[in-house]
Amino acid sequence: MIGIFHDVSQQCSRITTERYSTSFNSAIRLLHRDLRMPVYNLYGFVRFADEIVDTFHGYDKAALLEEFKKETWLAIERKISINPILHSFQMVVNQYNIEHELIEAFFDSMESDLKKQAYDVNGYKQYIYGSAEVVGLMCLYVFCEGNKSLYDSLKAPAQALGAAFQKVNFLRDVKADYQQLKRTYFPGVDFNHFTPAMKEQIELDIANDFKNAYQGIIQLPVKARFGVYVAYKYYLSLFKKIRRSQPQVLLQDRIRIPNYSKAFIVMRAGLRSQLNIL
């Protein structure tokens, strides 16, 4: 009967992904079937931790995150948890031998969201690493399926892709982060006086991350390449829309990509994949 528990736990992570992120869910469904569930399991874990620090207002977030962290390490050590999200996560960590330092760095960034409201350059880089780059590296463990040399060769592009996604999220979510959560992630940026020059500086950095990430995507194993490429194209499309927007627009609205545009991205990516011109 343990097999039923494994399956139920993983379905919880899949449902979490479906409810919280239609874009990532769509991209994950384009991965090879062998990779889909492990990535769902990673996303469910990341999503729950993020929810604790971002939306559990009126509760003791620090205590909840500390409990979640302790339960995570116990789940990994015991190879079981009655928390289905943590059980499905430990399955991936133990199956693919995901480096524990990545999980520690992730929790460090989540904890900083409870303590910090602004970041200097070093703090910003450290936060990006822990909140986003390590997630890309966890996924890379799954994509490489035990091929350590391939993993090592693709580490830098995977980190660049995670960083690009996170920085685009920061620009997209400026209104909520700055006005509601009182957070400023970009060093030296005053959103009370957010100028086109400040915005362009951030965008140049993100464009460089996307460029570096692409070089890794085209070297990914076939099982992973198309799904990751679609996620890349989703975020690149969102980034381009943000780039065309004036700074004050980001402080008023959350920029989105409509569903019909997402469908077109998948269609076009599929055609390029068939022609082997990613």
Q: Which domains does the chain have, with CATH numbers?
A: 2-274 (1.10.600.10)
Per-residue exposure over 121-156, b if at least 16 CB sit within 10 Å of its own CB, e if not: eeebebbbbbbbbbbbbbbbbbbbbeeeebbeebee
108-161 pLDDT tens trace? 999 999 987 889 999 999 999 999 999 999 999 999 999 999 999 999 999 999
SS (H, E, C) 189-218: CCHHHCCHHHHHHHHHHHHHHHHHHHHHHC
Return all residues near 195 (Cβ < 8 A) that are at least 6 apart.
247
pLDDT value of position 278: 66
50 has pLDDT over 80: yes
CA 206 and chain centroid, separation: 15
Q: H or E stretch including 164?
A: helix 148-172
232-256 pLDDT tens trace? 999 999 999 999 999 998 888 888 8
Q: Binning pLDDT at 50, 70 and 90, where does residue 270 land?
A: low
pLDDT value of position 94: 98
214-225 pLDDT tens trace? 999 999 999 999
pLDDT value of position 272: 65
The C-alpha atoms of residue 133 and residue 107 are separated, in whole angstroms, by: 13
Contact 4, 31 (CB under 8 A): no
267 has pLDDT over 80: no
The C-alpha atoms of residue 49 and residue 54 are separated, in whole angstroms, by: 9
Average pLDDT, the chain: 93
pLDDT value of position 178: 81
51 has pLDDT over 80: yes
Q: Binning pLDDT at 50, 70 and 90, where does residue 273 land?
A: low
pLDDT value of position 183: 86
DSSP assignment letter at 118: B
Q: Binning pLDDT at 50, 70 and 90, where does residue 264 land?
A: confident
Contact 225, 154 (CB under 8 A): no
Contact 250, 258 (CB under 8 A): no
32 has pLDDT over 70: yes
Say which range, 27-36, 65-74, 267-276, has the weakest mean pLDDT.
267-276
Residue 86 buriedness (CB in 10 A; 0-12 / 13-18 / 19+): buried
pLDDT value of position 192: 86
Q: Across residues 227-231, what is the average pLDDT?
A: 93
pLDDT value of position 62: 97
The C-alpha atoms of residue 97 and residue 176 are separated, in whole angstroms, by: 36
Going by C-alpha positions, the residue among 168, 186, 45, 181 that lies closest to residue 106 is: 45
141-151 pLDDT tens trace? 999 999 999 99
162-172 pLDDT tens trace? 999 999 999 99
Helix 33-55 and helix 222-243, axial crossing angle in degrees, nearest 10: 40
